[in-house]
Each structure stands twice: as C-alpha cells, then as structure tokens.
Structure 1
Amino acid sequence: MGPLTDAPTTTAEALALFDSCPAVEPDDMIGTWHGAEVPTGHPLDGLLAASGWWGKAFLDTETVHPLLFPTRDGTALWALNPVLAFAGLGPATRVPAARKLPLSRMIGALKPVLATRAPRARLRTTRYRGVDTATMIYDQLPINDVFHRIDDETLLGAMDLRGIEVPYFFVLRREDSLRLQ
C-alpha cells in the first residue's frame, strides 16, 4: 500500500506525521476506503492484517461499516459486526500468538454469524490532539478512529482505544471499485 505501511516506524514518528497533516471534514470521507496497518510496535500491530481486513465504507455520516472483508472470490466486500468479532480485543492484544492464528480463514468461515448489513459506526467531528477533525465512532465499542488527510486520496487514521495508552495507526486509500454485498 505504500511507504507508510512498508517500513516500521515509531509511535512518536507516526504522531508527528499525523499532527503535520490537515484535518478532514466528515463529508470528505464518503466512499469506500482500502486500509492497511502502519507498524509502530503497537500491541495491535499485525492483528487486522491477520484477520484479512480490507477497509471501511462511509455511505453517509450515519451509515458507516468499519470492518470490511473481501468475499471469497474477491469481487465484492462484506461488513463484519465489530462487537461480535472484536469485543475481547483488549485481552487478545496481550497474546502475541493471536496475531499469528489463521484469523482470516476463521472469520471467513464465521461470515454467516459475523456479517451485518446494519451500520456499526458513524462519523462526527471531534477534537483530538487539539484539532477538530472527522472521527469514526463505533456504536458498541470504546473505539474512535480519528482521521487526518495525507493527500486527496489518502488518510492517516489514529485508533483511540480505551485501555491502550497509545494510538494504533492505519492508512486508508480511496478505492470505490468494490461494492458491499
């Protein structure tokens, strides 16, 4: 996905980049975005990649699908209910082996139970690190994903998760070619 996701960095370097980028308006987020982790040594590093996570869809400010996965044939995307899959995220981050499990196969096999058509997050403007910017707020989890703009097609996200002191970073690139099932 590019230089941000290819080389490990530190939380301090990722925060410096995040702080140097401009804020985003919620309406500018509308669309489908392909995601990738930015490795910083965070306890979550590797977990989303291992799960097979593809990205996020912002249909409007009230209709957000935070966890998209590709269908088996790769021609479409399906939305996963985050509360069913990641409610125990805190304890899982303390078990390094959890990132090495075949999570993508397990999630694919559990698709009938984990899939949702209902939105599971919404977009609002919040203040984070002194800047008002677009923030995806999960409906049922203590997680806010805060966004700054790298360029017109690329966003840097900082996941603010209750109970973990430093943000988890990821990149989103606009990719509207795949549609939700």
Structure 2
Amino acid sequence: MDVHEARSLFRELTERDGRVDPGELDAIWAVLPTVRPEEMLGAWKGGEFDTGHPLNGMLEKAGWYGKTFHSPHDAKPLMCRNETGELYSNTELGQGEASLWTVEFRGESTATMVYDGRPVFDHFKWVDEDTLLGIMNGKGVPAEGPFYYFYLERAPESGAASGAVPGAVPGAGEGA
C-alpha cells in the first residue's frame, strides 16, 4: 500500500458503519508520514474507529469533542462539551492534562501525547495536512495491542494554518 491508497482507505473507514478491522488501520499507519509536536498545535475535532476495543463509545458518552494543543507542554487531551454545548478540558476524566513529545513507536519517531495522570500515550501520524491518525497505547498494553484507534481533524476554529505534510507529494491531495 502506498500513501495515496492509505489516504483513500482511511477516508473509506471513517465513513464505514460497523466494525473496522484493526489490521486495515495498521496497514494505513505503516505508510503514513510521522509528525513533529510543533506541527500539531491548535484545536482538533476527534472521531474513533469501531474496532471492538473496550474504549469504543466511552469518549462519546463523556461528550468528547477532540484535543487542543496550545504548545508541546500544554496539551488538552479530553476537550468535551458540557450540557450547554460549551467546550471544556475534562481533567477529571483524564486525571490531568498532557504534553507532546517525540517518541519511538513501531520503529519510527513521531509526535506522541503523554498524559499527565495516566500511563497512556497517543501516537500520531499525518493522513493529510489537516488530519491525523492516532493510536492509543500505554502501560499494560501488549506490543501487538489491542490498541484504540482514533483520528483528529483540524478544527475550523483552531486558527492554526495548515502546513505541509512531511513526505507528502505536492498536488497529491484527495482524488489524486
């Protein structure tokens, strides 16, 4: 699979009703470009892939909207909506907030969110300049998983400008 096929399959999987095979997500992950923490700054709207992981559906119940990265050392992993629809950082659920680091995962160094109060790591790779694929990992998770797979799309209100994706081919966006 090349990066163009991976992006196409990623889009297909985000629209799929029902279960997604983690093997398909692993194949996508394997060819996507890595991310540097400073490239991720801004607000991101999140979604998940239903792989049958025990966390599937839990964040939705908590009103999860996405994540916000003000700086590498100021990350808000659980931006949720309250009863009136306002966004807030759910530090109770997350047991604090987080920071961004470059961490090796599956043989590559990529941006990883490290939670302050939990032994949890969210690893990221670029799908395109406004979309990230994430894999949640942490203490107690075997090397082969099961992992929780999710994605982030740059929020329109983030104010962060889209940047070039490392490893991307100019003009090779969707439909290419």
Q: Would the TM-score normalized by the shorter structure come out above 0.5?
A: yes
Aligned to 1:5, which of 14, 19, 23? Answer: 14
Distance in 2 (CA, whole Å) between partners of 1:5 and 1:32 is: 19
Aligned to 1:170, which of 137, 150, 155? Answer: 150
Distance in 2 (CA, whole Å) between partners of 1:52 and 1:3 is: 25
Is residue 2:35 matched to residue 1:58?
Answer: no
SS at match of 1:177: helix
Shift of 1:178: 6.6
Structure 1 runs not aligned, ≥5 long: 88-118
Residues 90-126 of structure 1: per-residue CA shift (max 9 Å, x gap) = xxxxxxxxxxxxxxxxxxxxxxxxxxxxx71000101
Pick 1 or 2: higher relative contact order, CA cutoff 8 A, min separation 6: 1
Q: Is the CA contact (8 Å cut-off) linking 1:5 and 1:39 kept in structure 2?
A: no
Shift of 1:32: 0.3
Aligned to 2:113, which of 111, 136, 147? Answer: 136
Q: Which residue of 2 aligns with 1:99?
A: none
Q: Is the CA contact (8 Å cut-off) linking 2:131 and 2:152 kept in structure 1?
A: yes
The TM-score normalised by the length of structure 1 is 0.73
The one-letter amino acid paired with 1:150 is V
- What does 1:1-181 correspond to in 2, within 5 Å? 3-7=12-16, 8-74=19-85, 76-81=86-91, 84-85=92-93, 120-165=97-142, 166=145, 167-177=147-157
Q: Is the CA contact (8 Å cut-off) linking 2:75 and 2:100 kept in structure 1?
A: yes
The TM-score normalised by the length of structure 2 is 0.75
Percent of paired sites with the same residue: 37
Distance in 1 (CA, whole Å) between partners of 2:108 and 2:141 is: 21
Residues 24-47 of structure 1: per-residue CA shift (max 9 Å, x gap) = 011110000000111112121111
Distance in 2 (CA, whole Å) between partners of 1:178 and 1:151 is: 17
